[in-house]
Structure 1
Amino acid sequence: MSEQAEGWAKEWEGRVAFITGAVTGIGLGVAQAFADAGMKLALSYRNEDDKAATARWFESKGYDQPLFIKLDVTDREGFAKAARQVVDHFGEVHVLVNNAGVSVFGPTDEASYDDYDWIMGVNFGGVVNGLVSFLPAIKASEGRRHVVNIASMAAFLPGPQAGIYTASKFAVRGLTESLRYNLAPHGIGCSLCCPALTRTNAWTSAMKRPDGFGESGFPETSDEQLAQFGTAFEEGMDPYEVGTKILRGMTRQDGLILTHPEHGPDFEENHAKIMAALPDEEAPAGRLKIEQLRRDAMKAAEEGLIIKLDDLT
């Protein structure tokens, strides 16, 4: 860990964090970066072999073993139980990282209800369940606290095979950007993290479709096609690097954490399209006043004030 990273770590040493989907991929990278920062960890998992491999990593580093909690993030009762387990074990909880998700793709015009319900249920519903279950305990704790919702660059950049996936990530983006204003008065930081291509096995999600969502409208994809798609992930960023950038963003209280530098052209193109779509005309004074009140309220909320409906008119 660099000297600068060690400076970030000191701010989080001893803090308790709960991370979903934390024994593979980005979740594991975050867990490893947090462990190097001296944080106490509770990690959710689904696969026993992945859990065992993660436990061996902690043992090899001489770190305390995390509190492992087997969890399906769509299970609300299970999530509520997980929150109680973390508080019972550590006494409090300071950081929530909603990371678990599925990467499933197909033409949106052919999608079934099961396709929507599964992908949205995990990628957006899992974040909702984490917030509802853990925010009361985080609010009741003291000191440095933070919520990180991990979305994807798809929260900004849609694609022809990623309609539902993109919708789920847009939803996480909107929720997180609004939640930041609500948590500020409680002294709790809130960040949206949007990683791009990362060296993970996220491409295997389609092979793990639950039986309860078996009626897919997407064309069947062979294991060979998925494996070929998976070769792209080999070019991705190391998950540990994503984890360290999240730690840095939390320390700086960044509302938005972007981990990959290669998307500048995409953002420039999007900005140009948005500006070009604005009508070239004067807005009436009444509407201008209301929008300025909204801008002022957003700034005030970031500074820690509770905003009410009366502040917007």
Structure 2
Amino acid sequence: MADWNGANYREQWAGRVAFITGAVSGLGLGVAQAFADAGMKLALSYRKEADRAAAAAWFAANGHPEPLFVKLDVQDRARWAEVAEEVTAHYGEVHVLVNNAGVSVFGPTDEASHADYDWIMGVNFGGVQNGLVAFLPKIKAASGRRHVTNIASMAAFLPGPQAGIYTASKFAVRGLTDSLRYNLAPHRIGCSLVCPALTKTNAGISALGRPDDIGESGFPPVPEETLRQFGTAFEEGMEPYVVGCKILAGMTRQDGLILTHPEHGVDLAEEYMKQVRALPVEECPPGRAHIEHLRREAGKAADAGLFIHMDDLT
């Protein structure tokens, strides 16, 4: 981003405390770097000590305060509760949550085992769920500019033949975030869904990190050299820092949806037209039309910051 200057965002974000998952490598680190350049205070989750050390070295070399590093498996709910208390105790308040941690694991869905579902959904959707339950009370209790950002993927719009469970997890994050936005608006808390595309990370070899205790996969075995060859595609991806800058810019604008890669316009247009063509051409009964009108008006009211209750929908 040629026009990016972190100083331009300091007025709104300097001193804000952000907790980012999966934040010591890849996209998470890119987000953390962009936030640091805007003057934010950071708490970053990690799994591997080597990645934590490398991230710490970057912050030191670039003149930023060392973040609070917390070890976290995003599927561990008990640890999530501990981390929320640790971050609050360290900084006093938490203003921003970025649910970023995820795994990119592919295989034919018709051969998937329960363990495949449990792992991929547990990290990609369960990790977001756990983050919200642990940190939303802290963010609601804080003051000033606050934001929740859930990072999904373009897979949240575009399914593929080898990515059934991965796609399901990202569709789930999309639906959750789009609904959560209505709930957070009355609290004056921003909420963004981020759907990045190809980014220069090690996501292509996520399958090599499958936990030993997760259970047997139903996917056909893929040789490590094949996975690593697949991973070379990510070398053509956007730099994580650039994606992180675009995310912070979108948060600053209060964008509900942040798309970072321009090349998917044709895909989104085709997907939209496919949905439009599937609609039947027929009259809608007045009673049903009235219910849908109430739904639309409730959505507008919620987006404007009003609390919506069940009896507003009938």
Aligned to 2:180: 179
**Deviation, structure 1 residue 109:** 0.1
Task: Give the equivalent residue in structure 2 for 1:125.
Answer: 126
For 1:76, the equivalent position in structure 2 comes to 77
Partner of 2:151: 150
Q: How big is the shift at 1:203?
A: 1.3
Which residue is 1:93 aligned to?
94
Aligned residues of 1:110 and 1:218 also touching (Cα < 8 A) = yes
Residue pair 2:4, 2:245 contacting (<8 A) in 1 also:
no
- The amino acid across from 1:43 in the alignment is L
Is the aligned partner of 1:234 residue 2:221? no
Query: C-alpha deviations, 1:35-63, integer Å up to 9, x for none?
Result: 00000000000000000000000100111
Matched AA of 2:211: P
Q: CA deviation at 1:128?
A: 0.3
The question of whether the paired residues in 2 share the 8 Å contact of 1:5 and 1:248 is answered with no
Given that residues 155 and 173 in structure 1 are in contact (C-alpha distance below 8 angstroms), is that contact kept between their aligned partners in structure 2?
Answer: yes
* 8 Å CA contact retained: 2:81, 2:134: yes
Deviations 1:148-203 (A, max 9, x none): 00000000000000000000000000000000000000010000000000000011
Offset of residue 271 of structure 1: 1.0
Amino acid at match of 1:299: K
Structural mapping, 1:271-290, within 5 Å: 271-290=272-291
Q: Distance in 1 between matches of 2:70 and 2:11?
A: 26
CA distance in 2, matches of 1:67, 1:192: 25
| 1:10 aligned residue | 11
CA 3–256 in structure 1, closer or farther in 2 if over 3 Å, else same: closer
Q: Which residue of 2 aligns with 1:307?
A: 308
**2:54 aligns to what?**
53
1:191 is paired with a residue of what secondary structure?
Answer: strand
CA distance, structure 2, for counterparts of residue 192 and residue 120 of structure 1: 17
Distance (Å, rounded) in 2 between the aligned partners of 1:256 and 1:216: 34
Distance 1:180 1:186 in 2: 10
Counterpart residue number, 2:204: 203
Give the distance between the partners of 2:39 and 2:68, measured in 1 at CA. Answer: 15
> Identity of aligned pairs, percent?
72
Distance 2:89 2:197 in 1: 36
TM-score by length of 2: 0.98
Q: Could you tell me which residue of structure 1 aligns to residue 267 of structure 2?
A: 266
> How far 1:10 sits from its partner (Å)?
2.1
Q: Distance in 2 between matches of 1:302 and 1:12?
A: 23
Name the structure 2 match of 1:62. 63
CA contact (8 A) 1:198 1:239 kept: yes
1:75-130 deviation line (CA, Å, top 9, x unaligned): 00101100000000000000000000000000000000000000000000000000
Contact 1:146 1:250 in 2 (8 A): yes
Q: Work out the CA distance in 1 between the residues paired with 2:151 and 2:165.
A: 16
The verdict on how the C-alpha distance between 1:290 and 1:221 changes in structure 2, with shifts beyond 3 A counting, is same
CA distance in 2, matches of 1:153, 1:2: 24
C-alpha separation in 1, matches of 2:246 and 2:295: 31
C-alpha contact 2:30 2:240 (8 A) present in aligned 1? yes
Who is 1:35 aligned against? 36
**RMSD over aligned Cα, in angstroms?**
1.0
Gaps of at least 5 residues in structure 2 are none
Could you tell me which runs of 5 or more consecutive residues in structure 1 were left unpaired when the two chains were aligned.
Answer: none
Whether contact under 8 Å (1:45, 1:69) holds in the other structure is yes
Q: Answer whether contact 2:8 2:38 (CA < 8 A) is retained.
A: no
- In 2, distance between residues paired with 1:2 and 1:282? 50
8 Å CA contact retained: 1:151, 1:194 = yes
Which residue of structure 2 aligns with residue 257 of structure 1?
Answer: 258
Aligned positions, number? 313
Secondary structure of the residue aligned to 1:41 is: strand
Structure 1 stretch 6-15 or stretch 118-127: which is displaced more?
Answer: 6-15
Q: What amino acid does structure 2 have at the position aligned with 1:105?
A: F
Mapped partners of 1:279, 1:223: distance in 2? 47
